[in-house]
Amino acid sequence: MPALRTLFAYNRRHWLVAVLTLGACASIGGGGDDDGNDLQATPDGGGGGDDVGGDGGSGVTEVIDVAVPGTVQWTDTGIDTRVGEHFAVTATGTVDHGGGTASPDGDQALLNFGANIVNCVGHASLIGRVGALGDPFFVGSDNAFAATANDRLYLGINDIGVDNNGGSFAADVATDLRHTSVASRSLSVPGTVAWSDTGLDVAADQQVTITASGTVIHDVASNNGCDPTGEPGTSGHGANIIGCPNHASLIGKIGDAGAPFYVGRTYSVPSGASGRLFLGVNDSDLSNNGGSCSADVAITTR
């Protein structure tokens, strides 16, 4: 059973610990469809409406140490999530993947690589999923997210062939972080509109969580459509706004001139920038598009 520490004062960057006790396991979870190479950012807890305010988290954070072997596809953390519960993960160690060695951030020379489970991030990086069928997402050496479902948290290696691997990562998972709801909104993201204004402004220190569903038609003549993860196998498509993620996937940006980023079905990441949040489709030619995605956006602060 992994060691558990109870923190009465926690800061993701500085790790302030006032009291340490030994104990048993804690909780996190989520669910979805099991995808091979779809890029996912992180499981999130998003809500509808235009609600502002509200607090969450017990203020007593439990940090659970999890060993993630490089030879095991998915490691059960023993942690069960609650929808909207906030987590932070820090990780160290190295994994040998046959062609080299990777830190938890992965081998940066192999971002768009056929053996990746989560594409467009480093090969053999630390990844996660919530639930046995949840969308896999990048974790890396330092990440924070909110859960989208009540299920079990798994950590794993971004490599479909772990048999020839070695080494391991050591992950500290902080659970039940105190947070405050800032705003939330549900909106439609048409496949025919370059950027849809969410009407939400975010600050650089806030958490942005998005869950999305629906179908965007990226060729009305053939009625070819896809969910928010995009058309499978179209990384590097000539009409992509962001090269690596699948064509017609759900993307976002913060501010009119902000760098676009992949969203997909689930996204929960510290924003890192301030400004208006926009959502769009990873397609520079919208003339033959149709359909739409439905997105739930939640902004929280810790």
Tokens of 187: 């909106």
Q: pLDDT tens string for the chain (302 positions)?
A: 444 443 333 333 333 232 223 233 332 333 344 333 334 444 433 333 343 334 677 666 799 999 999 999 999 999 999 999 999 999 999 999 988 999 999 999 999 999 999 999 999 999 999 999 999 999 999 999 999 889 999 999 999 999 999 999 999 999 999 999 999 999 999 999 999 999 999 999 999 999 999 999 999 988 889 999 999 999 999 999 999 999 999 999 999 999 999 999 999 999 999 999 999 999 999 999 999 999 999 999 98
Planar angle of CA 178, 43, 97, nearest 5 degrees? 115
20-77 residue pLDDT tens: 232 333 323 333 443 333 344 444 333 333 433 346 776 667 999 999 999 999 999 9
Q: Are 32 and 134 in contact (CB under 8 A)?
A: yes
For residue 133, how many other CB atoms are within 10 A of its CB? 13
Q: Are 91 and 122 in contact (CB under 8 A)?
A: no
Picking from 186, 187, 193, the residue whose alpha carbon sits closest to that of residue 248 is 193
3 state DSSP class of 295: strand
Q: Are 62 and 169 in contact (CB under 8 A)?
A: no
- Whole-number pLDDT of residue 60: 60
Q: Whose structure tokens read 């993860």?
A: 229
Picking from 83, 45, 50, 53, the residue whose alpha carbon sits closest to that of residue 200 is 50
Burial class of residue 25 (count of CB atoms within 10 Å of its CB; 0-12, 13-18, 19+): middle
For residue 34, how many other CB atoms are within 10 A of its CB? 13
Which CATH architecture describes the domain 4-30+58-175? Answer: Sandwich (2.60)
Q: Where in the chain is the domain with CATH 2.60.120.430?
A: 4-30+58-175, 180-301
| Residues ≥6 apart with Cβ < 8 Å to 171 | 65, 66, 67, 68, 77, 89, 90, 91, 104, 126, 139, 155
Just give the CATH number of 180-301: 2.60.120.430
